[in-house]
Structure 1
Amino acid sequence: MTSAAGDAVALSIRPVTPADRPTIERLWLLFRHDLSEFRGQLPNPDGTFRGEWLDAAFSGSEDWAAYLFSSGESPVGFAFVRALIQPTRVLNSFFVVRGARRSGVGMRAVQEVVARHPGAWTVAFQDANPGAVRFWRRVGETIAPGAWEEERRPVPGKPDLPPDVWISFRCPNP
Structure 2
Amino acid sequence: MPDVSVRPATPEDRPAVERLWLMFRHDLSEFRGVLPAADGTFRNDRVGCAFAGPGWAPYLLTLGERPAGLAFVRGLDGPARVLNSFFVARGARRRGIGLRCAREVLVRHPGPWEIAFQHDNPAAVRFWPRVARELAGDAWTREQRPVPGRPELPPDVWISFTVRP
Q: Which amino acid aligns with 2:93?
A: R
2:4 equivalent to 1:11: yes
> For each residue in 1:3-46, what CA deviation from the matched residue of structure 2 results, as whole angstroms up to 9, or x when unmatched?
xxxxx111111001100011001100000000000000010111
Distance 2:5 2:41 in 1: 27
Q: Which residue of 1 aligns with 2:154?
A: 162
Choose 1 or 2 for highest CA Rg.
Answer: 1
Distance 1:85 1:96 in 2: 26
2:78 equivalent to 1:86: yes
Alignment partner for residue 151 of structure 1, among 139, 143, 146? 143
Alignment partner for residue 20 of structure 1, among 13, 21, 30? 13
2:94 equivalent to 1:95: no
Q: Which residue of 1 aligns with 2:127?
A: 135
Q: Which residue of 2 aligns with 1:73?
A: 65
Residue 67 of structure 1 deviates from its aligned partner by 0.4
Q: Which residue of 2 aligns with 1:4?
A: none
Structure 1 residue runs of 4 or more that deviate by more than 2 Å after TM superposition: none
Alignment partner for residue 40 of structure 1, among 33, 45, 49? 33
RMSD: 0.7
Using structure 2 for the length normalisation, give the TM-score: 0.98
2:51 equivalent to 1:58: yes
2:104 equivalent to 1:112: yes
Residue 159 of structure 1 deviates from its aligned partner by 1.0
Q: Which amino acid aligns with 2:29?
A: S
Equivalenced residue count is 165
Using structure 1 for the length normalisation, give the TM-score: 0.93
Identity of aligned residues (%): 61
Distance 2:107 2:128 in 1: 16
Q: Which residue of 2 aligns with 1:3?
A: none
Residue 138 of structure 1 deviates from its aligned partner by 0.6
